[in-house]
Amino acid sequence: MLEGRYMKKVRFNTAAAVFTSALLSSQVFAITDDPVDPVDPVDPPSSGTVRGPDPTLSALESTRSGPYSVRTENVSNLSASGFGGGTIHYPTNAGENMGAIAVIPGYVSYESSIEWWGPRLASWGFVVITIDTNTIYDQPDSRADQLSAALDHLIDESGSSSSPISGLVDASRLGVIGWSMGGGGTLKLATERNLKAIIPQAPWYSGFNSFDRITTPTMIIACESDAIAPVGQHASPFYNDIPNSTAKAFLEINGGSHYCANSGYSDEDILGKYGISWMKRFMDNDTRYSQFLCGPNHESDRSISEYRDTCNY
């Protein structure tokens, strides 16, 4: 299984690459066109994990994203312990005690392929770290360890008075997202560590697994025309392995290649809507987002070829 043979098919242009590079230095990511129903100002919550205005479909699908401005902080590979460095994305005006999410790429791939999740999720009230791996050839079990190390990095930084994310992370509310072998790593980590939510994307995992023990709410994003991690051999059986007593969902992108969850993919509005809703529902326990996960005819959207779930949740 060599994803590297197909990397030339990843759909993002030079401008997107430049944008990604710029985000690797500490800077402000300003959201100028707020698609959320007008709330001025957006008041941080005084208590609890429910934060922000009532969500709307247009806000969740907008690439301009959520109600919070986002700042980034570079994590060099020299200062990272257990992973290859990356970027922390955090809201500047969402209060404290936020859930923390780590996002990891796939085989022979880099942070740039999954970086878009960082500002997107952070703008909805999460502290997010998008990472590079120790080597681009690391296997899923190693990627699980690196996701765990990245979460620990966020917890440590939150406990440091000199860190820009001091006091922002609630260490009891952790989640991970991973693509391809990184997706396999997210499933593996859910068998080893207490997590609130995971999103494996086009997950690849070979050999024995214990996914039938997963109790973490899991949304698997599959790519219908995936030739590298075929849905029938990976995403679908992984979903079936997870007990029906676990909150879970299966979202298959119509006609999508193995790269359907990467930066530059044309349906980031779909991925963002479901990804944000999943994390808000289970990391923040915010039931306002259940309406986007349960109830509607998901397959009426031409971008979605199949949707399964264990609603209601």
pLDDT tens profile 69-114: 999 999 999 999 999 999 999 999 999 999 999 999 999 999 999 9
pLDDT of 221 reads 96
For residue range 29-47, what is the model confidence (pLDDT) as tens digits?
A: 333 333 333 333 344 443 3
At 295 the pLDDT is 80
Amino acid identity of residue 149, one-letter, is A
Low-confidence ranges of the chain (pLDDT < 70): 1-48, 263-267
The active-site residue, picked from 89, 258, 267, 284, is 258
User: What pLDDT, on a 0 to 100 scale, did the predictor assign at position 264?
Assistant: 55
pLDDT at residue number 267: 63
Residues ≥6 apart with Cβ < 8 Å to 59:
35, 36, 37, 65, 66, 67
Which candidate in 34, 226, 267, 284 is catalytic?
226
Helices 181-190 and 140-158 pack at an angle, to 10 degrees, of 70
Which CATH class name applies to 15-32+53-309?
A: alpha beta
Active-site hit among 65, 109, 112, 180: 180
CA 48-33-198 angle, 5° bins: 45
* Residue 226 annotated to the active site: yes
CB of 130 closer than 8 Å to CB of 64: no
Q: Give the N- to C-terminal CA distance of the chain in Å, as an integer.
A: 36
Cβ pair 154, 126 in contact under 8 A: no
At residue 265, the pLDDT reads 60
* pLDDT at site 162: 97
List helix spans (H) across 97-139. Answer: 117-122
Report pTM: 0.85
Vertex 47, ends 45 and 50: CA angle to 5°?
60
180 catalytic? Reply is yes
- Note if 89 is an active site residue: no
In the chain, domain spans: 15-32+53-309
In terms of DSSP H, where are the helices of the chain?
14-23, 57-61, 117-122, 140-158, 181-190, 235-241, 268-283
pLDDT at residue 3 in the model: 43
| Helix, strand, coil percentages for the chain (3-state, nearest 5) | 30, 20, 50
